[in-house]
Amino acid sequence: MSYTSRLCHGDFHLFNLIMSENNVTIIDWVDASSGDIRADICRAYLLYSQFSMELADQYLRLYSDKSGLAKEDIFQWAPIIAGARLSEIVCTEKNERLIEIINFYCP
């Protein structure tokens, strides 16, 4: 897997966006880091898919269309991001779902 280091938000989701009349501002940069943006995109996808597959799929489709990044390249990060998410011990996250993702990509 190739790796390109760029600015990553680290916790990108709708609650970290503020919309004004014609502008969207991204807030909560406390988890920002340098990393591969495909990992950041994959993490946002996993966060969205926890609540709505429709929203997650729409996010990924729009991001892929606008950025030119292939969904397959983004999903290479899925087992890594799911494993990292497991270590966060988030009460709203289902560990079984994350383990299924890991097992799907790393049989």
Gyration radius (Cα) of the chain, Å:
14
pLDDT digits (tens, 9 = 90+) for 24-54: 999 999 999 999 999 999 999 999 999 899 9
If one compares 8 and 92, the residue with the highest pLDDT of the two is: 8
For residues 38 and 2, the answer to whether their CB atoms sit within 8 Å is no
For residues 9 and 16, the answer to whether their CB atoms sit within 8 Å is yes
| CATH number where 82 lies | 3.90.1200.10
Mean pLDDT for the stretch of residues 2-23: 90
70 SS3 class? coil
Can you give the pLDDT at residue 91?
Answer: 80
Supply the pTM of this predicted model: 0.87
For residues 79 and 102, the answer to whether their CB atoms sit within 8 Å is yes
Domain containing 25: what range?
Answer: 5-105
pLDDT digits (tens, 9 = 90+) for 66-103: 999 999 999 999 999 999 999 988 887 889 999 999 99
If one compares 56 and 88, the residue with the highest pLDDT of the two is: 56
Number of independent structural domains in the chain: 1
Phi (first) and psi of residue 30, to 5 degrees = -65, -30
